[in-house]
Amino acid sequence: MTCAACVARVDRALGAVPGVELAFVNLATRQAKVKFNPRLTNPAALSKVITDAGYEVEGVSQEQRPPRSPEAEVKEFRRRFLLALVLSLPVWLSMIPPVAHAAGLSHRAMALTLLIFATPVIFYSGASFFAGAFSAARHLSTNMDTLVALCTSTAYFYSVWLAWP
């Protein structure tokens, strides 16, 4: 879950299950607490409803894989961010007219060079946005990932169109 729309979608899905008395979904902890009547439903059915809504379920029972540690997730995001930062600095510096002029590249060569730097930023560092948007689209819905993926890919492909011969 990455935004309030995700929380609302999971909350609605859980609330629609017969036997669910109360469902509380927390974006910050990415957890759902559900009070349900065990005669009408069970954790496996609740997990299926969440999965069918397009989200992963972690750590419900012993059969499930253990939840991903927050430290591992932070480490992965940090690695992707640092790569994006390193590759974005030349793009940012090229926007300063004296620096761009000092590079001595033609406009076309500069555009293609910047495209080379921007490609891994968009598709590697931003992969989680595309994955979230794809998951939402598979379930005929949208979320904040959809907005980010749509806007960044539009800007990227428009830039490709302008830079290409």
pLDDT in tens, 12-69: 999 999 999 888 898 888 888 888 888 999 888 998 999 888 888 887 643 444 556 7
Separation of alpha carbons 21 and 35, rounded Å:
6
Alpha helix locations (H) across 16-143? 43-52, 70-93, 97-103, 107-120, 127-138
pLDDT in tens, 121-165: 999 999 999 998 998 898 888 889 999 999 999 999 999 998 877
- Whole-model pTM above 0.75? no
Q: Residue 107 has what pLDDT? A: 82
Instruction: Find all residues with CB under 8 Å of 139, minimum gap 6, and list them.
Output: 52, 53, 54
